[in-house]
Amino acid sequence: MQTPDKITQKTGSQTSLLEFLMALGKALISAGISVVDITSILERIACAYKVKAEVLIFPTVLLVKLGETESAPLSASNQKPGLIPLNQVSEIYKLIYQAENAEISPEDGKKRLKQILTEKHRFGSIGTIIGYTLFSIGIGMLMRFSPEQILVSGAFGVIVAFLILFGENQTKVSLLLPVIAALIVSSLFFLGMKEGFLTGTFIMLIPALAYFLPGAILTTGMFELASGEIISGASRVISGAAILLLLLFGLIVGLEIAGLPLQQLMFISPSNTSIWWIPYIGVLVFGVGMYLFMSIERRDMPWIILILYIAFMGEQVGNHFVGGFFGGFLGSLLMAVSGTLTERYDHGTPGFISILPAFWILVPGSLGFISLASLVGQNYPAAINNALLVTMTIVAISLGLLVGRVLTEPLKVEK
């Protein structure tokens, strides 16, 4: 029979563990990790401390029950706008690996997590601006833009980088950033076209606005739906669609400000470069941009570059031999498998960090922007056709993630 002291000690230990799991779960939700993975992580940690956990997670709410101790509902929305720096996410996963082996007490784990979340961006404001500029240039190279169009993409990227920094610690402003960025960039672009300084189509706006394109959100939402997380998955899909509509609104208002007649817009692909190796260099430029912009740890960078090329090559091979949908599926599948393998081999670089940048390589969000922008030119049949194309592309990428997860499940080992 347990003494009152032992019962009190056990209850206190469970309370500390519960507080640690709640704080950790909130941080992981803020990082944008799927509820499927967060649930698995929290349950493994509880098991390591010899406690059975029941976890209920929604995109902004977290509930955890350990034995007879149950948490109150916790609002788990990100307190700061935007994605948290990836150096913080990397350190959080180090803490997770320790907790999964019960190598750190819940009290120390909570203190360590608090320290991690106060760490600053590794490269500061200058690194953010340079990184996002390279990010935009890299995507322009991936889309085979001409050299002049790539430079324009980089210039617009500088403008958007300043806007991102402006809204960094202002939650209300950050909610409007997609509209503000699309409005300013599109106004400048369409005015440039009207005055004859710029040539091209609205597709040239994609690299500068790519950060706001919800490709990762939509794909994660579809992945959660396929995994049975209906509420979370549906919430992400709706959120992603809303962001696309905000971008579209900003683009339309920018067009109206410029006063450019619709008939002057050519809703076709811009004149692309014929240099075949430009996209391959673009992957590297994009990766370096992500390194600076997203504050990635130096030790994580080689794996990220590797998986960027794996996802890109997989998509290219699939597109060439079968078609676009299979290209998205194959790129996503190889991305998921290689991310898990590198996490197992390196024992430190999380799969989430290594595959996150590759979502922008697969670019499902930009396709959605293109389909919605077709509405600007009142090309309704094209808009409907493109919307279907976007949906199937996101399904293909989500299916690749799901199949990759199934294939790599037996390879997961304790850290």
More confident residue, 413 or 297: 297
Residues 149-205 pLDDT 10s: 899 999 999 999 999 998 877 767 777 899 999 999 999 998 988 887 877 777 788
Q: CA-to-CA distance for 302 and 308, rounded, in angstroms? A: 10
What is the pTM (predicted TM-score) of this model? 0.86
Residues 123-134 pLDDT 10s: 999 999 999 999
Domain spans of the chain, in order of start? 4-117, 124-411
Asked if 99 contacts 45 with a C-beta cutoff of 8 angstroms, the reply is: yes
Enumerate the H helices of 215-263 as residue ranges: 215-226, 230-258
Phi, psi of 299 (to 5 degrees): -70, -20
Residues 91-141 pLDDT 10s: 999 999 999 999 999 999 999 999 999 998 999 999 999 999 999 999 999
- pLDDT at 413 exceeding the cut of 90: no
Extract long-range pairs of 386-390: CB within 8 Å, 24+ residues apart: 389/324, 390/364
Of the candidates 47, 79, 74, the one whose C-alpha atom is nearest the C-alpha of residue 63 is 74
More confident residue, 20 or 265: 20
